[in-house]
Structure 1
Amino acid sequence: MTERIVVADEVRAAVSAGRPVVALESTIFTHGLTRPRNLEVAFAAERLLREAGVTPATTGVVAGVPTVGLSRDQIELIEAADSGTVKTGIRDLPVAAAKGSHGGTTVASTALLAQRAGIEVFATGGLGGVHRGAATTFDESADLVALSSIPILIVSAGVKSILDVPATLERLETLGVIVLGYRTTCFPGFYVRDSGCTVDAVDSPEAAAMVARARDDLALRSAVLIANPVAADKQVDPALHDRVLADAEQEAAAAGVRGKDLTPFLLDHMHRGTDGATLDTNVAVYLGNVQVSAEIATALVSAS
């Protein structure tokens, strides 16, 4: 860890004492969810962790300074409409530092900063992945490459079903990222519990912790991805999901939407086509992952 990364006293003390800590990203409330739900969810996630005896470490960039363990005031500051907060991946951190910008950290940059601060577990909603048509566009999320070299355990609900899920899993395998379903062999598709792809499974927080410890013992540098499906009663109805997604893809093709414009187009269509159900599922996904991450972080401390 360098002096250019600020770690909150509470987080530093918990890490030093060997108490459970879970990192949380900030893009979910700076660029993901809309007001006022975004801040409600951000604070609900921290509250869930505290109630489980786990220290939350919400991560972001404040006036150019990467910060692990944002205060409530800092969270409200970088969320503010006039703050000029930018979505900040790993490659954007130096630019934000030079410009003194506020930043919402992505999966990749949050994982990097959290691991530098000594945090072993990170909860997010969904992981970025390989985009459809990537064979010609080379469009894939920087999350994938980042997790190949950051030894952290991340809990997510797989990747959004609008991405190329099979290609994403192939890419993760190539990059050496360990992927395990949490109490399931069905890799989740974020909005739905089953993307149609299968993975190996772990059946408890303790089993997940044992995998992370075994990775450490082997001195491997890749992440462990625990894919936790959304609760059955919170997923988008699979039949509705498939129908709306197919319609969205047809509309995109007819309108000539491609490249970086395709993902927001599909997400907007999914939101409208499900009468907003995808937003409710998004929140349920995130908070469910936070709960599981708390259990795994606690198990990791016990396994030390």
Structure 2
Amino acid sequence: MIDIRHSSEVAAARASGKPVVALESTIITHGMPYPQNIEVAAQVEQDIRDAGAVPATIAVLEGQLHVGLEAEALQALGQSQGVAKLSRADMAACIATGGTGATTVAATMIAAHRVGIEVFATGGIGGVHKGAETTFDISADLNELAQTPVTVVAAGAKAILDLAKTLEVLETLGVPVIAHGQNAFPAFWSVESPLKAPLRMDDAATIARAHATRAALGLPGGQLVANPIPLQDQIPAKELAPIIAQCQADADAHGITGKAVTPYLLQRIFERTGGRSLTANIALVRNNARLAAKIARSLSEITG
């Protein structure tokens, strides 16, 4: 049996039937420095509470899977060094060996589904990296969306990726990609990309009904809700495109490959935008948390 520890807040919510929204923990350990990481994590959790749901930040601490972190555990995780970044391939190994790890999109979905949480808010999903036709660098997040029945609210896929190929893979895998409130697929830091989203829904209740209907039909997998960053917080795509291209060229020139690509690119983009990319990232995560809470509340009303 897996030893799963719920925070007191999540345990109370599950006992009372109050809606719960899962949150990943890599934003705490790999997204920004201490103490800003803790401040943002607490802010996102409060956004979910203010929208009528309960936050459940997920992590593995010394071999124990935590669904919801008490304040002291959140503080400790935020200051920890050498924390593993967990996906489907290494989550079980981390638990079995007594390790500590922060959950990515895929690992958070696995843990959320294991305890019956159906909605998850994150920043942006992983996807198909540029040049994947030769490197085969494709995030495990896409296959997870195809098999684990959790609705994931994100600002699309990270803009450093090949968005067109990412959408193609999601279509092949049968994953619904739903743009919230617009026709265009959002591009993480930017409200729009040149790509049309396969589906559009304008309110949380409709998204919740779609989730419940997939379950009723016996369809595997979840939904990706592509929620655009608020207009006032975006960095326009035309401004970002040359920056991303230059940073990608730098990565290629330095031989950066595999798991090192994403953190390298994000750091270089942070530097070249004067920190604006991180400010936008925080805004979009908070925006996604608020929408996820509304979806969770609507889903709770549907399922009773």
TM range (shorter): over 0.9
State which drifts further: 140-149 or 88-97.
88-97
Q: Distance between the aligned counterparts of 1:211 and 1:234, measured in 2?
A: 29
Q: More displaced, 133-142 or 263-272? A: 263-272
Which residue pairs with 1:296 in the alignment?
Answer: 295
Are 1:233 and 2:223 counterparts? no
1-structure distance, mates of 2:7, 2:256: 43
Please tell me whether residue 147 in structure 1 is matched to residue 145 in structure 2. yes
* Secondary structure at 1:23 match in 2: strand
1:25 touches 1:110 (CA, 8 Å); kept in 2? yes
| Counterpart residue identity of residue 177, structure 1 | V
1:98 and 1:81 map into 2 onto residues whose CA distance is: 20
CA apart distance, 1:234? 0.5
Structure 1, residues 178-231: CA drift from partner, whole Å, max 9, x if none? 110011111111111112111110010111111011101101121111100101
Whichever residue aligns with residue 302 of structure 1, its letter is: E
Q: Deviations over 1:237-258 (max 9, x none)?
A: 3332122123223434444544
Query: Where in structure 2 are the equivalents of 1:77-116 lying within 5 Å?
Result: 77-82=76-81, 84-116=82-114
Which moved further from structure 2: 263-272 or 19-28?
Answer: 263-272
Structure 1 residue aligned with 2:7: 8
SS at match of 2:30: helix
Q: Which residue of 1 aligns with 2:192?
A: 194
| Structural mapping, 1:222-301, within 5 Å | 222-301=221-300
Q: Quick check: 2:48–2:293 contact (8 Å CA) kept in 1?
A: yes
Mapped partners of 1:12, 1:220: distance in 2:
29
Determine if the alignment matches structure 1 residue 183 to structure 2 residue 210.
no
Residue in structure 2 matched with residue 63 of structure 1 by the alignment: 62
Q: Could you say what secondary structure the match of 1:185 adopts?
A: coil
User: 1:138 maps to what in 2?
Assistant: 136
Letter in 2 for 1:268: Q
CA contact (8 A) 2:118 2:150 kept: yes
- 5+ residue gaps, structure 1: none
Shift of 1:12: 3.5
Give the superposition deviation at 1:139: 0.6
Q: CA deviation at 1:48?
A: 1.3
Aligned counterpart, 1:43: 42
Change (3 A) 1:26 1:260: closer
Greater Cα offset, 281-290 or 7-16: 7-16
Cα distance between partner residues in 1 of 2:269 and 2:32: 15
Moved more, 248-257 or 261-270: 248-257
CA distance in 2, matches of 1:92, 1:259: 16
Match of 2:154 in 1: 156
CA apart distance, 1:259 = 4.2
Please give the TM-score of this superposition, normalised by the length of structure 1.
Answer: 0.94
Distance 1:299 1:80 in 2: 36
> Are residues 19 and 259 of structure 1, via their aligned partners in 2, closer, same or farther at CA, if it must alter by over 3 Å?
closer
What is aligned with 1:27?
A: 26
Give the distance between the partners of 1:253 and 1:112, measured in 2 at CA: 33
Q: CA deviation at 1:135?
A: 1.0
CA contact (8 A) 2:28 2:77 kept: no
Q: Percent identity?
A: 41
- What do residues 85-120 of structure 1 show as CA deviations (whole Å, max 9, x unaligned)? 211112222221232121111111111111111111
Unmatched tracts of structure 2, length 5 or more:
none
Larger CA deviation: 240-249 vs 222-231: 240-249
* Contact residue 155 and residue 289 of structure 1 kept, 8 A: yes
- What is the RMSD of the two structures over their aligned residues, measured on CA atoms? 1.6
Q: Does the Cα contact within 8 Å between 1:22 and 1:57 map onto a contact in 2?
A: yes
The 2-side partners of 1:125 and 1:159 are apart by 8
TM-superposed CA distance for 1:7, in Å, is 2.8
SS at match of 2:90: helix
Distance 1:92 1:253, change over 3 A: closer
Q: Which residue number in structure 1 is paired with residue 211 of structure 2?
A: 212
Question: SS at 2:232's partner residue?
Answer: coil
Q: TM-score, normalised by structure 2?
A: 0.94
What is the Cα deviation at residue 264 of structure 1? Answer: 3.1
Is the CA contact (8 Å cut-off) linking 1:15 and 1:119 kept in structure 2? no
1:74 match: 73
Are 1:173 and 2:189 an aligned pair? no
